[in-house]
Amino acid sequence: MNLRSSIGASLPWFLAHGAMACLMAGLFSGRLAAQEPKQPLMAYVGTFSSPLGDVLPTQVDLPPGNGRGIHCFRVNRKTGALTSTGTFDLGTSPSCVVANAAGTRLYSSNETDRVNDEGEGSVSSFAISPVDGSLTMLNTVPSGGAGPTYLSIHPSGKYLLVANYFGGSVSVLPILPDGQLGLATDVQQDEGEIGPTTATHAPPGSFAISGHDRTHAHMIQSDPGGKFVIHVDLGLDRLYVWQFDAEHGRLIPAKTPYVALPPGDGPRHFHFHPNGKWFYSIQEEGSTVVLFDYDAEEGKLTSRQTLSTLPEGFAGSNFCSEILVSHDGRHVYVGNRLHDSVGIFRVLKDGTLEYVGEEWTRGDYPRSFNFNPAGNFLYVCNQRADHLAVFNVDKETGKLSFTGDYVPVGNPSAITFVDLEQ
């Protein structure tokens, strides 16, 4: 029914046919629009979770997991506060979660090694309700290796890229038209000489030894154009570069197949600058951030700057975790576990970084963090403190300020957002 016609039918004829009618109709329609509930902004938190039934997860850092699986929240767009809407119980440690661009599907890497006789982990796909953001599982498939710890979606939207930490492999899973996952179209096993247990850039007195016992694929992601895929192996101290065959879902070694980081430093995560030309890598055991220039034509990485993620004078053990570039490209944020801080860097005109300071995470062992879609709040997953902490982001200075909000979640590992209004 036409809103103006329905209002006009309920008013006297002299109002319905004059300027007053237009004004009244506008007021009424404005009030009705204001009263219509907006679709929610949702947050999904992956956790290390306790086993359910006969599925025994391989836990990282703190067994057994205190999470319930995937924890779901409605996000207050103005204050950043999270309100729980329930959990999707999953006892296989869905430690990484990612949503597709349309906000209709969610995928989780289940950090186990007991899915089948091959010692593989698994990846699950979910449908997201456009009404309330609730999850419905679509299917679960093997991940192509033990302990899948990271996943990302190729820009084509047709493939899921998976890093299997304990298996030391990366895999490509096709995303089917209905959002379900197919079996891997490619699995690549990392090979090479394992790096030393003492990092080249370790802080004085550091005993930070985590992954130099074997190959450990820790992250995988496409470049912005989708032509190349990059993954890190912490145990080998390498960044691998693959040309991506989008027709068949295959990984083909690039002209320069890998770049070596300093021995023992242990690359963990990376993030592209919005301009696609600068690439920042964080090293878990060396506690460094490295700037690379990126050649999008050849997929070539060339290092240009190395900085500590810690304040001057720090001594002792620290494990780096996450790295993110702000939406506007003006700042870079790095996670420090044991120091329990988010380091803040200013991006200068040439892409080099300048240390700004750090913010205490208000918890223990910040495994990862993420911005809300507007980029004005940062959510930190304090894994061993069993909570998320919420921070305001000053976009001018890059500094963080705690909002006072603690969100209870057992062993949170990763958080991603879905705007149901899109």
Residue 115 vs residue 278, higher pLDDT: 278
Structure tokens at 5: 């016609």
Nearest to 264 by CA among 291, 280, 288, 242: 288
Residue 178 pLDDT > 70, yes or no? yes
pLDDT digits (tens, 9 = 90+) for 181-217: 999 999 999 999 999 999 999 999 999 988 899 999 9
When pLDDT is cut at 50, 70 and 90, the band that residue 52 belongs to is: low
pLDDT at 260: 98
Q: Assess contact for 148 and 92: CB atoms under 8 A.
A: no
Residue 30 pLDDT > 90, yes or no? no
Kindly state the average pLDDT of the residues 2-6. 36
Q: Quote the CA–CA distance of 95 and 362 in Å, as a whole number.
A: 21
Residue 22 pLDDT > 90, yes or no? no
Cα distances from 265 to residues 236, 281, 318, 332, 362, in angstroms, run: 10, 11, 12, 19, 26
Query: Which residue reads 């921070």 in tokens?
Result: 391
pLDDT digits (tens, 9 = 90+) for 373-407: 999 999 999 999 999 999 999 999 999 999 999 99
pLDDT at 26: 46
Residue 166 vs residue 422, higher pLDDT: 166
Peptide bond into 148 cis (omega under 30): no
pLDDT at 161: 99
Structure tokens at 100: 């597709």
pLDDT digits (tens, 9 = 90+) for 239-270: 999 999 999 999 999 999 999 999 999 999 99
pLDDT at 112: 74
pLDDT digits (tens, 9 = 90+) for 300-349: 999 999 999 999 999 999 999 999 999 999 999 999 999 999 999 999 99
When pLDDT is cut at 50, 70 and 90, the band that residue 4 belongs to is: very low
Amino acid, single-letter form, for residue 79:
T
pLDDT at 201: 96
Q: What is the dihedral of CA 88, 94, 95, 99, to 10 degrees?
A: -70
Task: Report helix, strand and coil shares of the chain as percent, to nearest 5.
Answer: 5, 50, 45
pLDDT digits (tens, 9 = 90+) for 117-152: 677 899 999 999 999 999 999 999 999 999 999 999
Q: Assess contact for 252 and 243: CB atoms under 8 A.
A: yes
What secondary structure, in 3-state letters, does 17-56 show?
A: CCHHHHHHHHHHHHHHHHHCCCCCEEEEEEECECCCCCCC
pLDDT at 101: 96
Structure tokens at 247: 């027709």
pLDDT digits (tens, 9 = 90+) for 6-19: 333 333 433 334 44
Residue 353 pLDDT > 50, yes or no? yes
Cite the beta strand spans of 175-299 per DSSP E: 186-189, 217-222, 228-233, 238-245, 250-260, 267-272, 278-283, 288-295
pLDDT at 408: 98
Residue 40 pLDDT > 80, yes or no? yes
pLDDT at 63: 52
Percent of the chain with pLDDT over 70: 87
pLDDT at 39: 81
Percent of the chain with pLDDT over 90: 83
When pLDDT is cut at 50, 70 and 90, the band that residue 412 belongs to is: very high
Domains of the chain in sequence order: 1-36 (no CATH), 38-184+406-422 (2.130.10.10), 190-360 (2.130.10.10)
pLDDT at 211: 86
pLDDT at 197: 92
Residue 35 vs residue 233, higher pLDDT: 233
* DSSP string for 119-165: ---EEEEEEEPTTT--EEEEEEEE-SSSSEEEEEE-TTSSEEEEEET
Strand partners, 72: 44, 86
Kindly state the average pLDDT of the residues 52-71. 62
Work out the mean pLDDT of the chain and round it to a whole number: 90
